[in-house]
Structure formats: C-alpha cells, structure tokens
Amino acid sequence: MEGKMPLLGDKFPELEVQTTHGKMKLPGAFAGKWFILFSHPADFTPVCTTEFVAFQKRYEKFKELGCELIGLSIDQVFSHIKWVQWIKEALDVEIKFPVIADDTGKVATALGIIHPGKGTNTVRAVFVVDPEARIRVILYYPQEIGRNMDEILRIVKVLQISDSEGVAVPANWPENELIGDEVIIPPALDEETAAKRTKEYDCFDWWFCHKKR
C-alpha cells in the first residue's frame, strides 16, 4: 500500500530514482549486494551533516562487508550536489555514495517515511536490505537525534553471521555481558534435542546454549 512503511521481510519496492550519481533503479542497482538506504530530513542542516560525515568515515568498512550506502531526502539534486561539495570543501570529507533527490516525495511516500507534523521532511529512517532485496532491519529516529553508525555497521555484520552460521547474536555483541563474543544456538524444538544440548554446548539451561565461532 502506498505510504505504508514496508515490514521486515518485505521485498524492497522497485523504484527509479535520481541521485547525485545519476539515475538508478532500486533495488536492481545493488543486485546481489547488501545495501543501506538511509533518509535524512534536509540538506544543509547540522545533525544531517554529522551523519553524512560519519557514514563516509565508515564507507570502506561497509564495502568490506559487501554493503553499499545510498542516502535520501526531499531535496532537489542541485541541493544535494552543492551540499556534498560544501562538505568536501569545508570539512575535507568526500561523500562517495549516491544521494537520492526525492523532491517529488515519491520515494519517501513509497517507504512511508514522511515525518508526521514536520511538513514534507523525511524522518531519519534506515533500511538494511539483503542480497535478495529483502528488508531485514528498519530503524526509525526522530529529527532531533543523530544515528549511531557503528551500530548500523554492527547490524550488517551480525545479520551476515546469523545467515551464514545459523545462529543468533546476543545483546551488545561482541561485548555481551554474559557470553562475550560467543553466539547463541537456536532453541531446541523437541525433547530429544533439548536433552542433548547441555552435553554438546556450554549452556545456562537447555534453551540458552552458546558457543565460540
């Protein structure tokens, strides 16, 4: 439904967008890759500027994980281009990822990220999309609060670990208060497996077992 925020597990909607790197088709432009689409309220604003610098400072780390970045706001492409130029000239940081110019609001409406009560501003949303174009994580921040890019980077890492190893990942990984950098074995689904668990792994109980990677 147009204007309804997609849900976890939904396919990322097919969209043709104008960016600072030219026209692109999403999610096809990142086929076979992870990507993060993040929206910001407006160009030439302080919190958004700190976020763009923070994302760029970690861009190579995202790319090492096979993950691309793409920004978005309801500004014209001319504004995006000038803002990116200003960041390079004033702050000595070159923004290397594309930024969607959604001046019609079409993309923001499709993703359900127009900020209620803030005119046409987009909220600070983050969509983490996997190589199958499935939306795996959605983060949603108010206009006044800047995001933690290290947590977004951690999200991509742990999703990849969970997918490839069939495990769950604890709070604050890799510095969890109970099991450090270990990972959690999915709960047993039958009595026989539950009885074996405490013999096969380190466990607090049969339903809470963990292991080193």
Q: Active-site residues: which are they?
A: 48
- 151 within 8 A of 69, measured Cβ to Cβ: no
Assigned token pair, 152: 């977004």
How far is Cα 116 from Cα 156, in angstroms, rounded to an integer? 28
Q: Show the DSSP H helices in the chain as ranges.
A: 46-57, 59-64, 77-91, 106-111, 149-165, 191-200
User: What are the C-alpha distances in Å from 14 to residues 28, 51, 97, 155?
Assistant: 8, 26, 20, 24
How many residues are listed for the chain in this entry? 213
Q: Measure the CA–CA gap between 190 and 172, rounded to whole angstroms.
A: 29
What CA–CA distance (Å, rounded) separates 212 from 191?
Answer: 24
Measured in degrees and rounded to the nearest 5, phi and psi for residue 25 equal -110, 125
